[in-house]
Amino acid sequence: MILRARTILPMDRQPLDNGAVAVTGNNITAIGSWAEIKAAYNGEVRDLGDVVLLPGLINAHCHLDYTDMAGQIAWRGSFADWIQQIVELKKTRTVADYAMAVGMGLEQLARTGTTTVVNVEAFLPLVTLFAETPIRVWWCPELIDLGHEGETESMVRDTVEFLGAHKNAGGGFGLSPHAPYTASRALYQAAAHSARSHGWLLTTHVAESDEEDAMFRLGTGPMYDYLLRLGRNMSDCTHAGMVRALAEAGALGPNCLAVHANHLIPSDIELLEQSGTHVVLCPRSHEFFEWSLPLLPMFREQEINICLGTDSLASNDQLNMFAEMQTLAHQFGDMSPECILQLVTTGAAKALNLGEKLGRLAPGAWADMIAVPQDGATADPYETVVFANKPICFSMVGGKMVLS
């Protein structure tokens, strides 16, 4: 098949006007000008017309389980309070509710141009229920041993065995210790070891709120008090901080995605940089909590690979990576649309260790593409995409149409 578009953004080279992409099976076989591709390749031609064609977007952090929670949890100024609200809300849900939410979330993501999602999954059976999905999913079971410290080893072992016994067409797997306040050092150590040995991702929330930072660095604050009440062993709470603790547990590295990372000190950022850990920022979720992204300029300065995610609808109102890009663009006017688009294409592909296959349009890459309507003349196609004011009109994953 040959796809023709007014503008193509390959992301690893300059934009092409009046370009075309040749697709065979799951892969892109060629990209070039319409004249070149038409002369060299046979096959059905699909002229997408006045659009920008680009790689499908990668959402590097999501919880599909909570897609039906939009607007149900209020931000009342305390992260510990928000955590307690979601814990209570989760008690009202059944596995069937979660399955429905995952389906709704996948549909929202597909409709808004995401073709790959890293999903933190609280219910292992859903991994098998959604063995085939319209977009690529990296299923990352959430691991929490708070209150179950004696079961840490068996929890990780059972999860690893479960994933090992299942196939995931088109996507991948990872392990997700929830956060340093709910996952023990032993859990991080075991999960990091298993993820490395299987070639899986390791992803975790870290330093999302100032209340976590106060808990770990100072041993004070609402999070400290809440978790103390739950019976957590707080002996790690006068430590140097969460990133240092992750480093000591072997939970940083090129297969690791540290999510949020809002409250770090310079030595934490150095640890992330030296270990090759990727950082996932969730602009709209951070906005929900009335937080800015104070460290983004430092991450960029240190050349830390940054990705974007939606997080869940417990702290966002839509699973839409265009909305995330636009929120970031409004907060950081000095970031070009091209830089922002790189975060959700080439940057995220690097974090998944699939820089050759995902996030760019090039021969040998997987045929994951979306098209954004191009209204009238725009000088910068990256800007057209980031600030798209109309829904995507086409998407393909692995050479198969998702939206056409």
Footprint of Zn ion on this chain (CB under 5 A)? 311
Task: Report in angstroms how near the CB of residue 328 gets to Zn ion at its nearest.
Answer: 17
The C-alpha R_g of the chain, in whole angstroms, comes to 21
Q: Smallest gap, in angstroms, from Cβ of residue 367 to Zn ion?
A: 30
Query: 7 or 108: whose CB is closer to Zn ion?
Result: 108
Q: Which is nearer to Zn ion, 314 or 396 (CB)?
A: 314
Contact between 3 and 48 (Cβ < 8 Å): yes
Residue 243's CB is within 10 A of a number of other CB atoms, namely: 27
CB 176 within 8 A of CB 143: yes
Taking the complex as a whole, the smallest distance from the CB of residue 77 to Zn ion amounts, in Å, to 19
For residue 325, give the 3-state DSSP assignment: helix
Q: What are phi and psi for residue 222, nearest 5 degrees?
A: -60, -35
For 108-171, where are the E strands, in sequence order?
A: 114-121, 136-143
Question: Whose Cβ is closer to Zn ion: residue 311's or residue 324's?
Answer: 311
CA distance 393 to 404: 6
Could you give the dihedral angle defined by the CA atoms of residues 390, 282, 68 and 210, in that order, rounded to the nearest 10 degrees?
A: -150
Residue type at position 229 = R
Which CB sits closer to Zn ion, 287 or 311?
Answer: 311
Shortest approach of Zn ion to residue 61 CB, angstroms? Answer: 6
Q: How far is the CB of 48 from Zn ion (least distance, A)?
A: 34
Contact 57, 370 (CB under 8 A): yes
In what helix (H) or strand (E) does residue 279 lie, and over which residues does it extend? strand 278-281
Give the containing element (helix H, strand E) for 48.
none
Is the CB of 82 or the CB of 226 nearer to Zn ion?
82
- Among candidates 284, 329, 355, 309, which has minimal Cα distance to 59? 309
Residue, CB closest to Zn ion: 311
Which residue's CB is nearer to Zn ion, number 178 or number 400?
178
Shortest approach of Zn ion to residue 17 CB, angstroms?
39
What CA–CA distance (Å, rounded) separates 327 from 242?
27
Please name the helix (run of DSSP H) or strand (run of DSSP E) that holds residue 193, with its range, or none.
helix 185-198
**Contact in structure between 402 and 134 (CB atoms under 8 Å):** yes
Q: Looking at beta carbons only, is 142 or 368 nearer to Zn ion? A: 142
Shortest Å, Cβ 40 to Zn ion: 45
Q: Which is nearer to Zn ion, 311 or 368 (CB)?
A: 311
**Which one, 34 or 200, has the nearer CB to Zn ion?**
200
The nearest distance, CB 392 to Zn ion, in angstroms, is 25
CB of 312 to Zn ion, least distance (A): 6
Sign of the CA dihedral running 301, 207, 351, 283: negative
243 and 273 in contact (C-beta within 8 Å)?
A: no
